[in-house]
Chain A
Amino acid sequence: MLRAASEQHNDRARRFVVGMGRGAAGALIFGMPMLMTMEFWYLGFYISHERLLLLLFANMPLLVMLARHIGFEETFTWREAVRDAIIACGIALVISAAVLTLIGNLKPGMPASEILGKVAIQVVPASIGALLGRSQFGGKRDEEAEQEESSRSTSYGQELFMMAAGALFLSLSVAPTEEVILISFKMTPWHTLAMLVLSILLMHGFVYAVAFRGTHELTEETPWWHAFVRFTLPGYIVAMLISLYVLWTFDRLDDMAPTQILMSAIVLSFPGALGAAAARLIL
């Protein structure tokens, strides 16, 4: 009896450690491109700390929503979702600090605000990775879910939220590089228009036309443009808003003329829209 209890205890501890390991793997995979990008290191000291703080705060509800959405089990509560989101942030923090130290970017003697800024900016993408890692890489849960022929409903708001998370992840990883604004300067307005239309078409195609696993279907009698108006167009607007927000966070919009702002937002929405569409498929 005592033995069974201790075995159960061991099993739980083992599962916890495995979960942490998966989270760390996810944080590494998702965070690595950004951890090894020069602009992200510099952002640590030139980004305004208020905007950074706001980004970290905005990341939290996103993580909680993701955790809640991914948690397949019906018993999964909001409390557990918040717990998972906080753990994901913790893993992301440790992993980011460890990798930045490993590549010689954090050294003793650096001002605390620089260290804080460098690590904090990495926490956002890495925490999304950690959260996905903890749940998506866990094979057992997925199999169970499939066997049970589980059926769940996502509210419209949640669906938009998922798109925001996908868009945030992709635009965040691209936005700090100089290329985004450089591309918008190289493009003529006609290029920008083509990009806008293409982004929307790709988004729709990803989710409805190309039969990926997780593809969305329409009921027979619904015409295609129903989903286009109800999901794809709002999805693009969500990606656009996220792009503007990310560009603003990284000080890319200050003193820019409105047309230039719009053009760089459209450039950043290109990866953002793909991220949003991918999020609908994967999650």
Chain B
Amino acid sequence: MTTTSRNRHKESGEPHWLEWGTGIVSAILILAMIAWIAGVSILREEVPPRFHSTVTAVQPVHGGYHVGFEIVNEGTITAAAVVVRGEIVEGGQVVEAGEVTFDYIPATSKSSGGMLFLQDPAGREVRVRAVSYTDP
């Protein structure tokens, strides 16, 4: 409890046990956060961004085909301005290509996006891969 008089607040000397309870729980939570982050920084080695992508959906849309994909950054460093290139390959030849840029793909996190192709990717190979990035 806090009593305010003349714009001065005074904390009561004999607080309710609930105040102590909340305080102790908060202290534990904060210590846990500190431990977590310290643990991460000590244990985790720095792995530069490594990308792994999977095509999640192909569906016909007006005037072409929509290819949805997910891309995972398996590194422990965040990548910025990640350029992802998608290609439809037939018989070793690239028949159509598209590009998309992600602002960020955080460390060990996932992002998703889509590309629009004119040709039907069905029966052909669809390659989606990251080609470049910058350090944030």
Task: List chain A positions with a Cβ less than 8 A from chain B.
Answer: 146, 149-156, 159-160, 178, 181-182, 185-186, 188-190, 192-193, 196-197, 200, 213-219, 221-222, 226-227, 229-231, 233-234, 236-237, 255-257, 259-260, 262-263, 266, 280
Contacts and interface: CB of A to CB of B under 8 A. Distances in A.
Given A230-B23, A234-B22, A234-B23, A153 B2 contact: yes
Interface of B: 1-13, 15-16, 18-20, 22-27, 29-30, 33-34, 36-38, 40-41, 78, 80, 103-104, 106-112, 136
Given A186-B136, A262-B37, 5 more contacts: A150-B5, A185-B136, A230-B23, A255-B109, A259-B36
A27 to B, nearest CB: 25
Contact of B78 (A185, A197, A233): A185
A112 B19 CA distance: 47
Majority-rule SS of B interface residues: mixed
Contacts of A178: 103
A259 B108 contact: yes
A153 B3 contact: yes
A259 B3 contact: no
Contacts of A280: 9
A236 B5 CA distance: 25
A88 to B, nearest CB: 22
A3 B41 CA distance: 77
A189 B40 contact: yes
5 contacts: A149-B5, A213-B7, A229-B26, A234-B23, A259-B40
B41 A190 contact: yes
Contact of A217 (B11, B33, B78): B11
A256 B11 contact: no
Given A149-B6, A182-B136, A255-B110, A229 B24 contact: yes
